[in-house]
Amino acid sequence: MSKAFTKEVDADDDDDPALPPIPAGGKNYMTAQGYARLREELLELIDTERPKMVDIVHWAASNGDRSENGDYLYGKKRLREIDRRIRFLTKRLEIAEVVDPSLHDGSDQVFFGATVTYLENGGTERTITILGIDEADSRQGQVSWMSPVARALLKSRVGDEISMGSPGGVLLLEVLNVRYPGKQAQG
């Protein structure tokens, strides 16, 4: 088949489908650790992975017929994935707003970076940490500051009861405890 009739999908679609978008004009709040992890991933892609893949594609292209060359075809696809991820990380880091949660250490009010223990509907006790959209991991009890539960809890204080709408009905959340990470020693 002629290449004129094939469509190679190039990444105008930079967003990672696994992560929800940041609201238009919004900040990408994250901790210094989250920022460092994203920056480290970006530099690894730029300095190590992409150059390796370019070498592989160059080698595979020099082997002749590219239409049935698996190394070449896979390499080109992987290169597009790497470039897409580089663009995504670059955009996310450009709008990043690094927040130091330890500034609120000792406070009983819920802000970004807080670890909050709350009672759900008077029965189930849950503990979550409110982090940035790019660093939250639900398996570790971390939620994005944009999640419904985080939005409901933000600015509340220990002892407050908050009503939160959910698909299963209205939930009553009672804030039991608020903790922040202590100041990191500067070295």
154 assigned to some structural domain: yes
Q: Which residues pair with 88 in a beta bridge?
A: none
185 assigned to some structural domain: no
Question: Where is the domain boundary, 73, 98, 123?
Answer: 98
* pLDDT for 14: 46
Same domain, 94 and 112: no
Question: Where is the domain boundary, 45, 69, 98?
Answer: 98
Same domain, 167 and 106: yes
Same domain, 126 and 81: no
Name the band, by pLDDT with cuts 50, 70 and 90, for residue 184: low
Same domain, 47 and 125: no
Residue-wise pLDDT for 141-174, tens only, equals: 999 999 999 999 999 999 999 999 888 889 999 9
- For residue 19, what are the domain limits? 12-98
Same domain, 52 and 73: yes
Whether the predicted model's global pTM rises above the 0.85 cut: no
Question: Where is the domain boundary, 98, 129, 150?
Answer: 98
Give me the number of domains the chain comprises. Answer: 2
7 assigned to some structural domain: no
Same domain, 67 and 16: yes
Same domain, 79 and 132: no
In the predicted model, is pLDDT for residue 59 greater than 80?
Answer: yes
Same domain, 83 and 106: no
Contacts 24+ apart (CB under 8 A), 130-133: 130/154, 131/30, 131/31, 131/34, 132/28, 132/29, 132/30, 132/31, 132/34, 133/19, 133/20, 133/22, 133/28, 133/29, 133/30
Across the range 50-72, mean pLDDT stands at 85
Same domain, 123 and 89: no
* pLDDT for 28: 86
